[in-house]
Amino acid sequence: MSSENGAILALDRVSVSFGGLLAVSDFDFTIRKGELVGLIGPNGAGKTTVFNIITGQYEPVSGKVFFRGQDITGWRPDRVTRAGIARTFQNMRLFEDLTVLDNVLVAQHCRLRSSMLAAALNLPSYVKEEGLARQKAMKVLDRVGLAELAHTQAGSLPYGQQRRVEIARALATDPEVLLLDEPAAGMNPEETARLMEFICRVRDEFGLTILLIEHDMKLVMGICERIRVIDYGMSIAEGTPLEIQGNPKVISAYLGEEGNGYA
Ligand SMILES: Nc1ncnc2c1ncn2[C@@H]1O[C@H](COP(=O)(O)OP(=O)(O)OP(=O)(O)O)[C@@H](O)[C@H]1O
Ligand SMILES: [Mg+2]
């Protein structure tokens, strides 16, 4: 069903429940190739849960997930990554003690073919593959403007740079779809502005489809072509940034939580 209209990713009436409570309920969502779509909603609305359904962290109690027309419901996260969907996390998951380069290399292991044994024995096949992985990681870092930081310890970087490393790490898995969960959280307005540019550039350079969860309305409204709004696990609106800004249902969902900086 879902490859019609150029859909690359589609959720078909997906529901997830935690202890009987529906965190996401009958959620339909279609994303077309090349789009940059925002997913917004108040705290606890179910945004991250939608990501966790797509990437296989949670299996829905009902409904299906399609990627390029293929049913990927219930696939394990590493299989979803290999298929071409990468993500970043709301709480950053960098290995702070490792270098930037090693953080990116770790992500690529989902694509390495050598066995653990070959790696442990340092067999030529592994050495070659590892060398190629390194070259590729460097290339990704270069393309996103982080090559100079390759040998810097990730934990020593300013927060905004760490977020970029996380995105670079996701890019190293060769995704077609990139899911970003609150990439601007904790950033100051200047860092956020630079991140907006960065996300747009990455989309164009890597030919990606991007789904973005973000509380920073300036960022979402500034770069997304289409925005979906979720509240209490249910879809309440979808439209262009302008349509969403003026939607009374959206405004009242946000006012319910003291405005939340929504303007
Ligand atoms: N693993 C889990 N176990 C139990 N409840 C969960 C779990 N994950 C999410 N929930 C609940 O599901 C609901 C949706 O959570 P989710 O993290 O998807 O919200 P969110 O929209 O990402 O919120 P935020 O903006 O705060 O990140 C919340 O009520 C949350 O407490
Ligand atoms: Mg969340």
Q: Name all domains of the chain by residue range, CATH numbers in brackets.
A: 1-84+176-263 (3.40.50.300), 95-174 (no CATH)
| Ligand (nearest to CA of 234) | 1
Low-confidence ranges of the chain (pLDDT < 70): 1-5, 109-121, 123, 257-263
Give me ligand 2 centre to Cα 193, in Å.
21
Expressed in angstroms and rounded, the spacing between residue 44 Cα and the centre of ligand 1 is 5
Q: Rounded to whole angstroms, how far apart are CA atoms 113 and 82?
A: 12
pLDDT of residue 125: 73
Give the ligand with the smallest distance to the CA of 230: 1
pLDDT of residue 6: 76
The whole-number pLDDT of residue 1 equals 47
Q: What is the pLDDT of residue 2?
A: 43
The pTM is what? 0.90
Size of the chain in residues: 263
Q: Return the DSSP state at 261.
A: T
Ligand 1 binding pocket includes 46 (Cβ within 6 Å):
yes
Query: Under a CB-based contact definition with an 8 Å cutoff, are residues 66 and 12 in contact?
Result: yes
pLDDT of residue 255: 75
Identify the pLDDT of residue 261: 47
Q: How far apart are CA 206 and CA 178, in angstroms?
A: 10
Protein residue with least CA distance to atom 7, ligand 1: 18
